[in-house]
Structure 1
C-alpha cells in the first residue's frame, strides 16, 4: 500500500533545500499539491516536472509572524485549504560554549525552533478546517544527547521535539496529528564537504526521510501523534 496523498495540499518549509526538495518531490509523486516556502529567493532554474504546478513562495522569513501569515494567506487564496505542513526549514552551526559566540544560540533557536512555531501557528486556522490534517516537524537524532560543539543545535532541536509533543497534546481531540522525524547525518553535498573522509554511505538519504514524512502525512498514520521517529540510516 502506498502513501496516497491525492487531493491533499501540503506546504513544505525550507522547500528549496536538499531535504525540502526531496520531500516536495515525494509528496507530489504521491498525488499531493505542493507549496514550497523558503527564506531564499525562488530558484532560477526550472523545477522538476513533478513540481511544475507547485506554488513557490520565496523570500519568506518564517521567523516573522507577519511573513508567515502572509504566506498562509496566499495558500488560502489559491487552494482554500491546507492538509499538511512539513517544517523542514532549519540550519546547523557548530560552536562550543567556551569559544563560541552566544549569537549562535539565538540563531539556532530562530531558524530551527521559531520558524516551526511561527509557521505552525500561522497554518493552524487552515489546518483546523481540514479533517485529518497533519504537521510534521524535522528534529534531529543529535538532540538526544549533547556533545562538544553541538550545544546550540542540539538544544534547538530538542525544543522542536517538545514543541511536537505539546502541539500533539493540544490538538489530540481535533484529529490534527503532530509528529517529528529525527534524522541522523543527512547525506547532502554540504555534509560531505563538512565531514571529509566519512563513510557517507552510512548516512540517511533525503529521499528516505521524505518517505517517512509522506507516511506520516497519509491516512495510514491516523493513529500516530506526538511521536518522535528516528530515521538514522546506519549511523
Structure 2
C-alpha cells in the first residue's frame, strides 16, 4: 500500500517521526525526512534527509517540499509531525507561549501543506496526515496554549479536506500520551503500558497515507491507547 509512494515526513528526527519514516521505508516508500535538526544521512534513491529547515518560515518550507518533489519526481503524501508542547497555566504563564505553540503546531503544518498541495494534486492518491491531540478536544489545567494550538490543527485539517475533496484526502490522528523517553521522564510514576507507543500511532498514520484510506477524509481519529 506504500510501495513506491513518495512521502514527506516533517519532524522526522523526533521520537514519532523517526518511527514513521523507518516503517514507511521498510514498506517500500521513498521518504523525504524534514527536520529543524541537521541532516544525518546522504541522499539516496529511497531517502532524502533535509535538515536545518525552519517550517515556521514559509519560504523554507516551500524550498524543502520543492526539493523533495524534485529529488523523487513526485509527491504522494505529507505527514505533518513537526510540533511542540508546553505545560503552563493561563494565569501564571507567559503569553508568548501561546504564540510559540501556534507557530510550532499550526504554522508548521500550514506552511508545509501549502507548499505540498501543488505537488500532491498531480498524485492519483494524494494524502495529508496531521498530528492533532486528544487533549485538544477538552483542555485540562495547564494545557490551554497547547490545546488551543492543536485545536487549530484540527480546524486546518477539516478546511483542507473540504477544499480538496476528491483530490487530496486530509486527516488527523489525535493521540493521547505517546510513550516516549521525554514523557516517561516528565511523568515517572505513570503507567506507561497504558500509553500509545510510537509504533502503534505510526500504523494509523501510515494507514491514512496509504491507498487503503481512499474513502477517509476530514476525519479526526482518536488514538488513545488504553488511557
Which residue of structure 2 aligns with residue 15 of structure 1?
Answer: 12
Which residue of structure 1 aligns with residue 131 of structure 2?
Answer: 138
Which residue of structure 2 aligns with residue 60 of structure 1?
Answer: 53
C-alpha distance in 1, partners of 2:57/2:197?
30
Give how far 1:181 is off.
0.4
| Structure 1 position 228 matched with structure 2 position 192 | no
Matches within 5 A, 1:1-235: 4-43=1-40, 53-174=46-167, 176-235=168-227
* Structure 1, gaps ≥5 residues long: none
C-alpha distance in 1, partners of 2:144/2:106?
14
C-alpha distance in 2, partners of 1:181/1:30?
21
RMSD over aligned Cα, in angstroms?
Answer: 1.4
Give how far 1:52 is off.
8.8
Alpha-carbon displacement from aligned partner over 1:178-214 (angstroms, at most 9, x marks no partner): 0000000000000000111101110000010000011
Give how far 1:65 is off.
0.7
Q: TM-score, normalised by structure 2?
A: 0.96
1:52–1:206 distance in 2 versus 1, CA, 3 Å: farther
C-alpha distance in 2, partners of 1:149/1:217?
32
C-alpha distance in 2, partners of 1:37/1:196?
31
Alpha-carbon displacement from aligned partner over 1:107-157 (angstroms, at most 9, x marks no partner): 000000000000000111111111110000000001010111100000000
C-alpha distance in 2, partners of 1:76/1:26?
20
C-alpha distance in 2, partners of 1:105/1:161?
17
2:134–2:224 CA contact under 8 A, matched in 1: yes
Give how far 1:17 is off.
0.2
Q: How many residues are paired up? A: 226
Moved over 4 A (4+): none
* Structure 2, gaps ≥5 residues long: none
C-alpha distance in 1, partners of 2:127/2:182?
29
C-alpha distance in 1, partners of 2:45/2:177?
30
